Amino acid sequence: MARDPRYDILFEPVAIGPVTARNRFYQVPHCCGMGHGYPSSNAAMRGVKAEGGWAVVCTEEVEIHPTSDISPYFEGRLWDERDIPTLARIAEAIKTHGALAGIELAHNGASNPCRFSRTPPYAPSSHAIFTSDPVQPRVMDKADIKAVRRWHRDAMLRARQAGYDLIYVYAAHDLSLFMHFLNRRTNHRSDEYGGSLENRVRLLREVLEDSKEAVGDSCAIALRFAVEELLGDDGITSAGEGREVVEMLAELPDLWDVNVSDWANDSVPSRFGREGAQEEHVSFVKAMTSKPVVGVGRFTSPDTMVSQIKRGVLDMIGAARPSIADPFLPRKIEEGRPEEIRECIGCNICVSGDFTQVPMRCTQNPTMGEEWRRGWHPERIAPKGSDSSVLVVGAGPAGLECARALGQRGYAVTLAEAGEELGGRVTRESRLPGLAEWARVRDYRVGRLNEMANVEIYRASRLTAETVAELGAAQVVIATGAKWRRDGMGRRHRKPIPGSEAEHVVAPDAVIDGMTPDGPVLVYDDDHYYMGAILAEKLRRDGHEVCLVTPAADVSTWTHNTMEQARTQTLLLELGVEIVAQHALVAIAPGEVELACVFTGRTTRRACAAVVPVTARIAEDGLYHDLMADSSALDAAGVRGVTRIGDCLAPGTIAAAVHGGHHYARTLDAPEDEDRPFEREVPALSADWPRSVSA
């Protein structure tokens, strides 16, 4: 299919100093939970993006020295020459597919507790470290400043040796040491590196000049800079010092990568930010420099991308999350297939990989993080291994992905859905406040299924064990989802809460589906992800008095891992939702509940007309057990296998459900070794082991 000529501008080459990008698609540096801990996975993931058409593919932050140690997070590491081979493998994987390999060198100063290296963190002035660690940074003297410049220059040379085409100087996200020098909040010096903005920019300018002198004839030098902190007069603003810094350094880097700070603002979840939300803050930059400008905005629409270029906002379309959701986004636009893009839903489940120190995953793209260890490709999948027909029961996220991937493999698939709508929990939850874009999980899969002649979809088809047998499929996949518990059992309570059988106790599913209880409502959140807070928000917007109670220290505490927690709690407070943290719901009575402090056990009573316990879910696996109860009937019907997937097997995130559906489709007729389901990188003893321990 030919490319739409409206999008031709996106495929023009862009000169970046001594190198040239083949188009305007630019995967900006982003963390992935792999870094130096899982380098083969990291290399394969970045290589797939290059194959997918991104003209520039960058690493995550890469530590330049033991004083820049970001442990326990798995970022890149380039402390000395021993780290070159690992990073060279990543560069090679990127360049194999014709993309430029970019590396983001980082020294994050007082943002690093240096837990592994056990060196004191560095800072321009005396202040607390930016983590909860009980340490404070050392105040840098002139010798320390010279050392940082030398370390950065040495890392530049090592990065060039590793094969990188584009090398970053990092001053963004309120993390970088260079930003700490630049910022009035963290720089209280009185020497030539403090005071005026010109002085506070001095170290950043010197490092840029050092970089150009060291490798500028062969590598492009990029500056990643946060032009806006969204802190008003207390921070850098695009109308104030952010603009002045760009003016001061306008022609020094070969490329400007501009964004807002901190990371939670830069990668704002879709619940709180629209596509292209950074434009108002970064649009001034291009007019102030002749160098190319790249920025991000969770761009998924090629029309929006073209608009950014034609209106002079950006020269290159930057992406982190959209490149995770669909590594082949550029290729699909180039080949005239934009409707096949797996659009990012902005859920930030990808971010949670970095915060929990594991390889990232993606709700839309179940192959993310599996490229090396399982050999999964986001676009290619092995053809069917048999002529087995497959019945998938349930068209939620697991069932839709399972049917889609099986259909792509060439199997004859029947997808049966009990209701009139496809999408299961995705469809229902996408009607809740802020979750509309999550419907993309359904829409992408339904769109692909509608193109497959080998997949039949039946709505309003609630199946029983008898009707499953009558359909005669060789393989039966049960993807019937899960329902929320009503009895309050969860992390805190291992048995039902007394009184939970009362009529005024409302299951979350009823509220999700539009039921509105009477009077003041108490939402009890022992789930700690998004649902408790969103139901509290919905009920409050519906006009109820709402109190949210949680045993945790704050609302939706797991969403610290998706960078939503602060915004979530702020929103609830602004809406007038009362929050009672560190208390458990222990009893329910007519018109009131009993709460207990999670530390002292001291109880209090609270009036309410309705209770919504958001605690845990129960798998809807009755059909599975009905089928398994009569193996002779299955044999007679020619059913060779019955399997549960997604929430029906183990209730979890939408990302987990999609992954479960994809996993089944990948491994049908090619089962994994249960003892070794995927490859892993095994640490090896050093060559000098054993090593004597000196006195």
Residue of 26, 31, 152, 210 marked catalytic: 31
Who's near 210: CB < 8 A, 6+ residues apart? 149, 152, 153, 156
Q: Taking the alpha carbons of 550, 556, 557, 558 in that order, is the dihedral positive or negative?
A: positive
Helices 202-215, 142-161: inter-axial angle, 10-degree rounding: 30
Residue-wise burial string across 575-602, b where 16 or more C-beta atoms lie within 10 A, e elsewhere: eebbbebebbbbbbeeebbbbbeeeeee
105: β partners:
62, 169
444 part of the active site: no
- CA 388 from centroid of its chain's CA atoms: 36
User: Cis bond leading into 487, ω under 30°?
Assistant: no
332: β partners:
none
**Distance (Å, whole) CA 148 – CA 179:** 14
31 part of the active site: yes
Residue 368: φ, ψ to 5°: -65, 125
The CB-side HSE value for 677 (13 A sphere, CA atoms) comes to 7
Question: For the chain, how are helix, strand and coil distributed in percent, rounded to 5?
Answer: 35, 20, 45
**Distance (Å, whole) CA 412 – CA 407:** 7
Cβ–Cβ < 8 Å for 680, 373: yes
Element (H, E) at 87: helix 84-95
Q: What is the DSSP letter of 377?
A: -
173 part of the active site: yes
* Ordered DSSP codes for 312-376: TS-SEEEESHHHHH-TTHHHHHHTT-GGG--------HHHHHHHTTS----SS-TTTT-TTTT--
**Distance (Å, whole) CA 506 – CA 500:** 9
**Distance (Å, whole) CA 13 – CA 19:** 10
Q: Starting from the edge strand earliest in sequence, which strands make up the sheet with 578-581, in order?
A: 578-581, 546-550, 521-525, 610-614
What is the longest distance spanned by two Cα atoms in the chain? 86
254 part of the active site: no
Helices 440-449, 397-409: inter-axial angle, 10-degree rounding: 30
Closest CA to 370 of 678, 53, 26, 692: 678
Residue 363's identity, in one-letter code, is: T
Residue of 168, 170, 193, 624 marked catalytic: 170
Residue of 165, 266, 315, 525 marked catalytic: 266
From the number of C-beta atoms within 10 Å of its C-beta (0-12, 13-18, 19+), residue 538 rates as buried
Give the other-Cβ count within 10 Å of 255's Cβ.
28
Cβ–Cβ < 8 Å for 224, 58: no
**Distance (Å, whole) CA 310 – CA 595:** 58
Q: Taking the alpha carbons of 623, 652, 43, 677 in that order, is the dihedral positive or negative?
A: negative
Locate tokens 């006195």: which residue?
Answer: 695
Who's near 673: CB < 8 A, 6+ residues apart? none
**Distance (Å, whole) CA 182 – CA 385:** 59
Cβ–Cβ < 8 Å for 523, 516: no
Task: Catalogue the active-site residues.
Answer: 31, 170, 173, 266
